[in-house]
């Protein structure tokens, strides 16, 4: 539990054994936020061991979990990731790796991208509608699967391509290549819009589109649909910046005198406020998180652009207007 830098000291990473592995650096989307739901989720069974990391939400996890519990499976968490792991482990008792994954994909419904490790083999799966992102990267000494291409950039690798919706990718254990299997064909895709709005890093590429440019284009569209004349447009940092710059650019192209400026200073030592457990904690964190730059806004009409409004806490308490 905790930030990567807190959970892993440099010596911990040096002591890890083996040449293949999977990881997970996000709080669970479903279930409790505690160590029982920390991922990757590991399962040992008759024919080997299995580790699984999951980004997404299942809509039928309770139903499948109840069925597996009736068959004798013991669950240690209340999250949907363990349900996927147990279902796949059960299928691996009867099928080879590819067929077992296909059976699980036919059972689970919802949004997911998965990285799975079965003994020494790493594989990745993307849900049939491509709701959650997953991509393949090439490194000097092998291949990698990641939710975002920015992770591949950090490793000084090259983005090969996105995993297709409904596709299984199996990396060779020796790092020399990978096999792909189109397990489920879907007539339509349904991307998670919030990946482009907020979740993804702006320097990531999802389905061949740079997230930063998508956000700037959303800002341009916002001006075209609902533009308001004002003296200055300012972003709520950091993720509102691309939207605001696109908005200001489109306004200026239309002959507006609106100015793009930074009007809020962000305290980088305060975490994400919308996931804090109580409203009082969220409001207190917002007061620490954002402070207006008075010279930018004093005596001016101001347009503020944020990526989204989840609870309205930030909008209420940090607005300088």
The confidence score (pLDDT) of residue 321 equals 41
Q: Do 203 and 221 have their domain in common?
A: no
Same structural domain, 129 and 141: yes
Predicted pLDDT of residue 285: 65
**Does residue 162 share a domain with residue 94?**
yes
Helix (H, G, I), strand (E, B) or coil at 137: strand
Domain limits at 110?
4-207
Please tell me whether residues 62 and 203 are part of one structural domain: yes
What CATH number is associated with residue 115? Answer: 3.60.20.10
Give the total number of structural domains in the chain: 2
| Same-domain status, 162 and 243 | no
Q: Is 106 helix (H, G, I), strand (E, B) or coil?
A: helix
Same domain, 222 and 79: no
CA 28 to chain centre: 11
| Whether residue 198 sits in one domain with residue 251 | no
End-to-end C-alpha distance for the chain, whole angstroms: 39
The CATH number for 284's domain is 3.40.50
Tell me the sheet residues that pair with 43: 50
DSSP structural state of residue 128: T
Per the structure block, which two tokens stand in for 99? Answer: 């067929």
pTM for the whole thing?
0.84
Among 176, 207, 238, identify where a domain stops. 207
Among the candidates 158, 178, 207, a domain finishes at 207
Task: Find the Cα–Cα–Cα–Cα dihedral 23, 29, 34, 36, rounded to 10°.
Answer: -70
Is the same domain home to 23 and 157? yes
| Mean pLDDT for back-to-back runs of 10 residues, the chain (321 residues) | 80 84 80 71 82 92 88 78 90 93 95 93 95 96 95 96 96 94 89 89 93 96 95 90 95 95 80 60 67 88 87 59 41
- Give yes or no: residues 148 and 229 share one domain: no
């Amino acid at each position: 539990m905790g930030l990567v830098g807190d959970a892993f000291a440099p010596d911990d990473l040096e002591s890890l054994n083996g040449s293949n592995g999977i990881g997970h650096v996000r709080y669970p989307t479903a279930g409790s936020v505690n160590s029982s739901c920390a991922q990757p989720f590991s399962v040992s069974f008759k024919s080997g061991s299995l580790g699984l990391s999951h980004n997404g939400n299942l809509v039928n996890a309770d139903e499948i979990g109840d069925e597996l519990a009736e068959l004798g499976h013991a669950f240690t968490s209340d999250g949907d990731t363990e349900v996927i792991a147990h279902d796949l482990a059960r299928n691996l008792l009867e099928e080879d790796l590819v067929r077992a994954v296909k059976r699980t994909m036919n059972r689970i419904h919802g949004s997911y991208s998965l990285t799975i490790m079965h003994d020494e083999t790493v594989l990745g799966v993307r849900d049939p509608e491509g709701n959650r992102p997953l991509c393949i990267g090439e490194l000097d000494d092998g291949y990698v699967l990641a939710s975002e291409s920015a992770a591949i950039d950090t490793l000084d690798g090259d983005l090969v391509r996105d995993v297709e919706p409904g596709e299984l990718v199996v990396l060779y254990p020796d790092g020399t290549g990978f096999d792909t299997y189109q397990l489920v064909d879907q007539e339509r895709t349904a991307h998670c819009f919030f990946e482009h709005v907020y979740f993804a890093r702006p320097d990531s590429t999802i389905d061949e589109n740079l997230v930063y440019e998508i956000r700037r284009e959303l800002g341009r569209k916002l001006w075209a649909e609902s533009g308001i004349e004002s003296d200055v447009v300012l972003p709520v940092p950091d993720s509102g910046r691309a939207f605001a710059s696109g908005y200001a650019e489109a306004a200026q192209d239309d002959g507006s005198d609106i100015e793009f400026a930074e009007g809020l200073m962000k305290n980088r030592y305060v975490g994400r406020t919308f996931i804090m457990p109580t409203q009082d904690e969220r409001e207190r964190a917002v007061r620490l998180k954002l402070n207006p730059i008075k010279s930018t806004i004093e005596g001016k009409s101001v347009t503020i652009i944020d990526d989204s409004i989840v609870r309205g806490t930030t909008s209420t308490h940090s607005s300088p207007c």
